[in-house]
């Protein structure tokens, strides 16, 4: 039974996701549908790209990840499907696959161009139902990627600066703020250890600890998060609120100044 996951910014209360599910199950009745999230902030492609990075390669090979955050629907942006490390992603070509492409050992991509794998009578406002869902269903049924359209050598990438490490200083950014107010950075775990002093937008956080409960309730703590990057949290509280910071804000680490 092939699995199709769904990530959108559609909410659920308008029935748009349900329409996609109906289309999916009509074409691929045996597909296992798995909801990821539908409450991504409307049009927030960067949030969607980050969320996709959390799960895409944890699913079994052959899984189809249907991802529709598509503020440019009906306009000039392309529609794409790619296979990365044996998992498929179907998406608008607007940067949603940025982290997948960066992390994958290998990937191939096509532009969706074959009407036979789309819904007849294509709407101009709902490609989730009319293009992305039917294509995902056909992939789940085993249709080959190359049959969906011409190969692409490039996809659109989000313009996100990677972290930098110089002698005694690391400069990264908050890549995501989660529901708990934890600040998930882009700084890899093997760049930092207890000897580094961490600062978020001017606020000293101190040095690296093992887990949240290594500090008292409400205190700030730097740990290695679940995806192997530096994370700043407040124990059983929101670090984002405490520090008044948001996605994109700078995080720096300096070495040897921990005793200050």
Q: How far, in Å, CA of 238 to CA of 19, rounded?
A: 36
The Cβ of residue 89 has, within 10 Å, a number of other Cβ atoms equal to 28
Query: Which of 33, 48, 148, 27 is closest to 100 using CA atoms?
Result: 48
Chain Cα centroid distance, residue 137: 21
β-pairing, 3-8 with 64-68? parallel
CB of 201 to a copy of itself, least distance (A): 21
CB of 76 to a copy of itself, least distance (A): 7
CB of 116 to a copy of itself, least distance (A): 19
Instruction: Decide whether 47 or 152 has the Cβ nearer to a copy of itself.
Output: 47
Instruction: Decide whether 15 or 150 has the Cβ nearer to a copy of itself.
Output: 15
Instruction: Decide whether 33 or 171 has the Cβ nearer to a copy of itself.
Output: 33
CB of 129 to a copy of itself, least distance (A): 6
Q: How far, in Å, CA of 238 to CA of 242, rounded?
A: 6
Instruction: Decide whether 38 or 171 has the Cβ nearer to a copy of itself.
Output: 38
CB of 67 to a copy of itself, least distance (A): 11
Query: Which of 49, 55, 82 is closest to 68 using CA atoms?
Result: 49
> Reduced to 3 states, what is the DSSP secondary structure of residue 49?
helix
Structure-token pair, residue 253:
């680490």
Q: How many helices (H) and strands (E) does the chain have?
A: 6, 15
CB of 56 to a copy of itself, least distance (A): 8
Question: From its phi and psi, is residue 6 left (phi > 0), alpha (psi between -120 and 50) or beta?
Answer: beta
Instruction: Decide whether 72 or 207 has the Cβ nearer to a copy of itself.
Output: 72
Instruction: Decide whether 142 or 260 has the Cβ nearer to a copy of itself.
Output: 142
């Amino acid at each position: 039974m092939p699995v199709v996951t769904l990530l959108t910014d559609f909410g659920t209360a308008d029935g748009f996701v349900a329409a996609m599910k109906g289309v999916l199950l009509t074409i691929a009745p045996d597909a296992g549908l798995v909801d990821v999230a539908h409450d991504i902030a409307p049009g927030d492609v960067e949030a969607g790209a980050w969320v996709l990075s959390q799960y895409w390669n944890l699913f079994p090979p052959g899984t189809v990840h249907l991802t529709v955050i598509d503020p440019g629907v009906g306009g000039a942006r392309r529609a794409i499907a790619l296979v990365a490390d044996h998992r498929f992603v179907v998406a608008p070509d607007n940067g949603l696959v940025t982290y997948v492409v960066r992390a994958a050992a290998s990937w191939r991509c096509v532009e969706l161009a074959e009407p036979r794998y789309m819904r007849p009578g294509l709407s101009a406002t709902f490609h989730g139902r009319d293009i992305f869902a039917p294509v995902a269903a056909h992939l789940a049924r085993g249709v080959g990627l190359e049959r969906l359209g011409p190969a692409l050598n490039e996809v659109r990438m989000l313009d996100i600066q990677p972290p930098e490490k110089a002698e005694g200083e690391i400069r990264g950014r908050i890549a995501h703020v989660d529901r708990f107010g934890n600040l998930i950075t882009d700084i890899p775990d093997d760049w930092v250890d207890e000897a580094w002093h961490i600062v978020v937008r001017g606020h000293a956080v101190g040095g690296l600890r093992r887990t949240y409960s290594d500090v008292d309730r409400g205190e700030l703590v730097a740990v290695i998060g679940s995806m192997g990057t530096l994370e700043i949290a407040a124990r059983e509280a929101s670090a984002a609120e405490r520090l008044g910071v948001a996605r994109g804000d700078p995080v720096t680490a300096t070495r040897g100044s921990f005793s200050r």
